[in-house]
Amino acid sequence: MELTQNALVAGFGRRFGELLSVRLSLGAAFGGTLLADGRRYDVKPGWTASGQVSRRWFGEGLKVPFLVTSLSIGASRTTTEEQGGTGETSPLTAFDARLSLTLGVTAFDGVWSPYLGLRVFGGPVGWTQLGRDRTGSDRNKYVVAVGSLFTVAKNTSLLVDGALLGERGISLGVSQSF
């Protein structure tokens, strides 16, 4: 099976001091394709949700390297519909647990924070095809990513994250703190 899917997610986080933070995210999954056994399926709209706890181990201040670890758990549910053929529809449910390590530095008076991210994860994907229950998982259970956080105003940041090896993808984000 090969799955490609898009999602738009909003996260709400809370920092507890300078070292610990918690984040809850909710979103909509939309658009995508699933290829399985020579058949092509459209991925219909659905939902996604996750929770994350992060800990910074060192790196408070400017021009100092930082190290952050995170643990997250997520789930999503959508429906697939076969293109042509039988027109079969079936729910698609996924669960995921991730452990992340992020190493970076803050430069240019706090404006730019480039980083390297290493992530390992796993979790099942459940789906029914032609009346047969199928369980799958990711081919690669790791990610090597590079990214940058840009502080564009006192409380506003932009994020670009590119997963280059293992699970591949691009994430773009805007955060506002208050």
Where are the domains positioned within the chain? 2-176
Distance from C-alpha of 66 to C-alpha of 103, rounded to nearest angstrom: 6
Using pLDDT thresholds of 50, 70 and 90, give the confidence band for residue 63: low
Mapped onto helix, strand or coil, the DSSP state of residue 74 is strand
Q: What is the mean pLDDT of residues 50-73?
A: 90
pLDDT tens-digit profile of 152-177?
988 899 999 999 998 888 999 998 88
Strand partners, 51: 24, 73
Please report the pLDDT score of residue 75 as a whole number. Answer: 97
Distance, CA of 80 to CA of 103 (rounded, Å): 38
Cross-strand partners of 125? 94, 136
Per-residue pLDDT of 96-151, as tens digits, reads 999 999 999 988 888 899 999 999 999 898 898 888 888 877 778 999 999 999 99
